[in-house]
Structures are given as C-alpha cells and as structure tokens.
Amino acid sequence: MRDIILLKQGEIVLKGLNRKNFEMKLLGNIRRRLKNFGDFNIYAVQSTVYVEPQDDDCDMDGAFEAAKKIFGIVAVSRAAACEKDKDAIFNTAKMYLADAMMGARSFKVESKRADKSFPMTSIQLSQYIGGLLSEEFPNTAVDVHDPELTVHIEIRDYAAFVHCAPEPGVGGMPVGANGRVVSLLSGGIDSPVSTYMAAKRGVSVIPVHFFSFPYTSEQAKQKVIELAEILTAYCGRMMLEIVPFTHIQEEIRDKCPEELFTIIMRRFMMRIAEKIADANGCKAIVTGESLGQVASQTMEAMGVTEECVNLPVIRPVVCLDKTEIVEIARKIETFDTSILPYEDCCTVFTPRHPRTKPRLEEVIEAERALDLQGLVDEAYNNIERIRIRQ
C-alpha cells in the first residue's frame, strides 16, 4: 500500500491546444513548492497530478497542506494506491480507512472508472466494496443519501486509488501561465488581497512597496516583508522592490496644493511602478483600490491616477466591500499582520480636505512645480530589492 497525494486540476482541463503549456507550468510550480518536503515523483495523467513520495523521509502532511495553496488545483486528497483488482481495493480500503470507518456513523462508496477496461462498472464496484466494508465495520451503517463518510475509489491507468473526501484547493490558474505584473503592496488589508487575487489568475507578481523613512518606521517595512512572505505560499518566490519615497512626498508637500497631495502621490507611484514593470517585462499594474473606500478611490480620482501611465491598471478588489476583503484576508492569513499598528507612506502628509473629484487639468498644472522625471529616476535608482522565498 502506497500513500500518495492526488491533485485535481481546475480550469486547465477546459483549455484547448495550449493546455499542455498550462499543465507544464503547473507541474513546475508544484515541484518548486514541494521540494522542501522531500523527494517526490510528480506527474500528470487524465487531469490529475500524482505526488508520489520516493522514500520514507518525505513530509506528507507538510506537502499536503502546501498543495492546497497552489493555484491551478481545485481538490487535494491523501490516497492509497493498489492493484486494479477488486479484492486488493477492498483490502486497501479496509486498512487505509480503518480509523475513519470506525469513527463514522454512516458511509457510502463512490467509484470512478477512468480505465474503462476494468471489468466492473462504477456502480458494481461501489456495491461490492460497500458490502464488504459493511461486514467488516458493522457499527457503521450504509447511507447512500446523507453519509457521514464517503469512501472514494478511482480506477485509473496505472493503479486504483482509495481515499476519503478531498479537501478543496484554491483553484485559479498556475502562477506564471498568464505573464507578469507589478503589484503595489502597502501594509494595509486590501493590497495583499489584491496581490493574491491577481496571482490566482495565473500571473507572476513583483510586489512594490513605497517606503518613507523616517516618517514611516523600520517596523512598517518589516511588516510588508512579512506580508510578502505569507503571500509566497500562494504566489511563489518574489522579488520585493522597496522604493524610497520620502523625497517625493516632501517635494509634493512643499510645492503642491494640499488638497491634491494624495492624488499626485499616487500618480508618482504609478509612474515608478510602470518603470519597474518595463524593466521586468510586466504587462500590467495591480492595485488594492476599492471603489469609494477613501478619497483617492473615487472613480474620478482613479481615472486621474492612471492617466499618467500606458499600462493597464488591474484592481481586483475594486467592487468588493470591506467585509468581503477582510474575509479573504483572514482566509489567506494576511489579516493579523495587516492590522499591526505601523503606518505606511499613504498616511504621511495626509491632507485635511482631500479632493475627491479632482480634475486632470488642475492636477497636471500642480505637477508643473515638480521635476517629475528627475524624482522618478532618483527613486527608481535607489530601490532596495529583497528576494522573498517561501
């Protein structure tokens, strides 16, 4: 009896001639994510990825939990493999699921026969295994309508597999299958969620943080590094780009109308993000803006903000309310770090009465007092880059 992990592919199975490219990207991501848990043989057959330990030193529990966070996987199961023989399947189920069977009040058997050469139909196999298990575990009743435990049997090309109900994966597309983006990562709740949601659609992410020392502390910087580390469980390894933003904000404070501080600051962020994107082959900029949440996130303000760049601006959480964003942040375990009381650069020089409906022409006129290109180049040339690994 071999203990393995079965990973069910999601949207990839709907692809056409390019499906192989998505599948190869997924397999590469799985191998990278699981290599710290031991030596596994990882391959895909019939829309399922098989993760087989090569020795007894493999951390199956760690690999199982890591696999549930890999985009492109919709379900994860611990399973026992055996010969494609009805009695071998029963003996495997009896031993492998003994604890689960004794702990359940009712059960049923569901079979899937991907290998149509197997001599029994799915229904016949379910009835056969279910009858024997009922005799073996008389205190667990058969209930085909609402069972407490479902025994799953899969007949596939290489072997038969026995397992309990699969646990859900995160779904989505394999990271890297749909290109690269720059994602603005503050220390708040929204931007880690938007980064996660962008990566779920199959993009590799370069997180960018704007740091205004000494107005923001080293603790604020470490908080963002910790958020990036948490996100690697989903996004994979990343290069965090920390942009020195103090001089730009001081110039805006000294030379621009107070009510336009925030919108001009965000336009600088966009320009710098686009410069980073161009240098790294990224095709879009991702932000954590949510419509109407703050003064700089009105439709008018967002339109003025993105006017200064040519790349598409993707806003994954733009139509989610705060409760929905917090729910996702808790699920991906960034919430507790995000609420640590360390301010980010967006709280520096906050205007008393920010303009919620800025006009583009007045913003451009205010920016004439600034050396736009010089300030962008200065910040870009002094970026601190930190490699973030899982």
Predicted local distance difference test score (pLDDT) of residue 56: 87
Residue 52: beta bridge partners? 41
Residue 274 to residues 7, 271, 282, Cα–Cα distance (Å) = 37, 5, 9
Predicted local distance difference test score (pLDDT) of residue 363: 96
Predicted local distance difference test score (pLDDT) of residue 15: 87
Domains and CATH numbers, the chain: 2-170 (3.30.2130.30), 180-388 (3.40.50.620)
> Residue length, the chain?
390
Residue in the structure block whose two tokens are 């690994």: 389
Predicted local distance difference test score (pLDDT) of residue 345: 65
Helix 190-200 × helix 322-331 angle, to 10°: 70
State how far the Cα of 61 lies from the Cα of 378, in Å rounded to an integer: 47
Predicted local distance difference test score (pLDDT) of residue 341: 83
Above pLDDT 70, what percent of the chain?
A: 99
pTM of the full predicted structure? 0.89
For the chain (390 residues), the mean pLDDT of every run of 10, in chain order, is 88 88 94 94 89 92 96 95 95 95 95 92 96 95 94 90 92 96 95 97 97 90 96 95 96 94 95 98 96 88 95 96 96 95 73 87 96 97 94
Predicted local distance difference test score (pLDDT) of residue 225: 96
The residues, ordered by sequence, that sit 6+ positions from 201 with a Cβ below 8 Å of its Cβ are 172, 173, 178
Strand pairing category for 2-9 and 73-82: antiparallel
State how far the Cα of 266 lies from the Cα of 355, in Å rounded to an integer: 13
Query: Is 105:202 a contact under the CB 8 Å cutoff?
Result: no
Query: Is 144:108 a contact under the CB 8 Å cutoff?
Result: yes
pLDDT in tens, 267-299: 999 999 999 999 999 999 999 999 988 878 899
The residues, ordered by sequence, that sit 6+ positions from 207 with a Cβ below 8 Å of its Cβ are 183, 184, 185, 195, 228, 231, 238, 240, 241, 388
Tally of CA atoms within 13 A in the half-sphere of 219 that contains its CB: 7
